[in-house]
């Protein structure tokens, strides 16, 4: 069974991070996460992007803004969820990911401009995707792929209006509304 995954984005800044946070949310969805929690600035544009893509391409992905990430994560932990913090200072993802229980909810925390020190203690796992600084999107993608067993996301997104047909030399998209 696929694990239930919430991706928690800390410290979003509406002006500077709009694109990368949108990419983070879309990557979370595409690779099989269920929920996205935006912390920092309450940026309706980012949340709307997720809603639009989910309406068109399907699945049950949802997103929300949360003003207090630490209280959100403490509550998540008390409810029995597992907190995974992606950080270059953590343990290598290819050795620790197999120890993460997949039968209870998982919150994957990615940092922004400043990550509160408490996160390192609250996390059940501090996980590194290599020990070089890079991007939250790259870290999330590689971690999610490992967590999901090496796949690049679910094959089916239920309720999709638009479906891409793989093609060697062009763009083929089936629009269910047009076909019915």
Rounded to an integer, what distance in angstroms lies between the CA atom of residue 111 and that of residue 123? 13
Minimum distance, C-beta of residue 85 to ligand SAM, in the bound complex (Å): 7
Q: Which is nearer to ligand SAM, 62 or 94 (CB)?
A: 94
Q: Does 158 bind ligand SAM (CB under 6 A)?
A: no
Q: Does 87 bind ligand SAM (CB under 6 A)?
A: yes
Residue keyed to tokens 């694990």? 3
Minimum distance, C-beta of residue 1 to ligand SAM, in the bound complex (Å): 26
- Which of 17, 65, 15 minimizes the C-alpha distance to 42? 65
Q: Which of residues 115-154 bind ligand SAM (CB under 6 A)?
A: 115, 128-130, 132-136, 139
Rounded to an integer, what distance in angstroms lies between the CA atom of residue 10 and that of residue 112? 5
User: Distance of CA 2 to CAs 81, 94, 135, Å?
Assistant: 15, 18, 25
Contacts of 16 (CB under 8 A, 6+ apart): none
Minimum distance, C-beta of residue 154 to ligand SAM, in the bound complex (Å): 23
Which DSSP category does 27 fall into?
A: H
Q: Which of residues 88-107 bind ligand SAM (CB under 6 A)?
A: 88
Minimum distance, C-beta of residue 84 to ligand SAM, in the bound complex (Å): 10
Q: Which is nearer to ligand SAM, 105 or 111 (CB)?
A: 111
Q: Which span sits near ligand SAM by CB under 6 A: 96-104, 109-117, 145-153, 166-174?
A: 109-117
Q: Which of 5, 110, 123, 148 binds ligand SAM (CB under 6 A)?
A: 110
Are 69 and 44 within 8 A, CB to CB? no
Q: Does 40 bind ligand SAM (CB under 6 A)?
A: no
Residue keyed to tokens 């991070």? 17
Q: Is 22 strand, coil or helix?
A: helix
Q: At what angle do helices 136-147 and 14-30 cross, to 10 degrees?
A: 20
Q: Which of 50, 86, 106, 108 binds ligand SAM (CB under 6 A)?
A: 86
Residues near ligand SAM (CB under 6 A) are 86-88, 110-111, 113, 115, 128-130, 132-136, 139
């Amino acid at each position: 069974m696929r694990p239930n995954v919430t991706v928690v984005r800390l410290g979003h800044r509406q002006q500077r991070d709009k694109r990368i946070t949108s990419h983070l949310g879309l990557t979370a969805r595409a690779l099989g996460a269920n929920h996205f929690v935006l912390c920092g600035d309450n940026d309706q544009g980012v949340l709307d992007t997720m809603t639009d893509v989910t309406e068109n391409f399907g699945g049950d992905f949802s997103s929300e803004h949360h003003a207090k990430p630490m209280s959100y994560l403490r509550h998540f932990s008390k409810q029995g969820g597992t907190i995974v913090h992606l950080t270059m200072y953590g343990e290598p993802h290819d050795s620790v990911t197999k120890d993460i229980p997949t039968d209870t909810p998982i919150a994957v925390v990615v940092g922004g401009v400043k990550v509160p020190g408490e996160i390192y203690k609250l996390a059940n796992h501090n996980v590194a995707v290599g020990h070089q600084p890079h991007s939250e999107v790259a870290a999330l993608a590689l971690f999610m792929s490992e967590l999901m067993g090496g796949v690049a996301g679910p094959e089916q997104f239920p309720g999709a209006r638009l479906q891409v047909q793989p093609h060697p030399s062009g763009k083929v998209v089936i629009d269910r509304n047009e076909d019915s």
